[in-house]
Structure 1
Amino acid sequence: MLGWKPIIRHCRNCGAKIVGFKNKQGVVKVDCPKCGVSCISRMLDRRHERCDTYAPPGMENLDEDEDEADN
């Protein structure tokens, strides 16, 4: 487990407190036990972090443009 550092975050989907791990390359991998969302973040620059959020299988993305077209 050398090289991995625990990181505490909040889930971007449900707001639960979650713990992920940061490796030597600066990549943080987190899975939310409450809603199942997976997040992977990486520091690109000193002030620039890229956060990718992946929905669990079976969860849909709601597109606002489609909702407005139905009205």
Structure 2
Amino acid sequence: MDDAWDSNGRRTYLHDEDADRAFLKQLQRILRTLEWTADPDKLRTFGHAGSGEIIEIEPGGSDTSGHFLHHMKAFD
């Protein structure tokens, strides 16, 4: 899998919980304390102004329980 932080600036994690509304609200509260903010234009996406990094939450789909979390470096 082409998912390397050093070469592609990206990490992907799999989580067992469904990325439902309650989960996303709790995640947003936690991220807010670490200076991450919800992207007003992209669903399930958070950005960090200081680092420029991005977190995207991708639901696993109908045949999967859980979701993927993509953490990406800022690109110049």
TM-score, normalised via structure 1 length: 0.44
TM-score (norm 2): 0.42
Structure whose residues are more often strand by fraction: 1
Higher helix share: 2
